[in-house]
Amino acid sequence: DLPALYVDSEGKATNPVLAPRLKLADLSGRALMIHAGGDNHSDHPAPLGGGGARMACGVIQ
How distant, in Å, are the alpha carbons of 11, 15, 17, 24, 41 from that of 46? 26, 24, 25, 30, 9
pLDDT of residue 57: 93
Q: What is the pLDDT of residues 23-54, one digit of tens each?
A: 889 999 999 888 888 777 777 777 666 778 88
pLDDT of residue 4: 80
**Shortest CA distance to 2 belongs to which of 13, 20, 15?**
15
pLDDT of residue 48: 62
**What does the radius of gyration of the chain's CA atoms come to, in whole angstroms?**
13
**Shortest CA distance to 3 belongs to which of 34, 42, 46?**
34
Reply yes or no on whether the pLDDT at 18 is more than 90: no
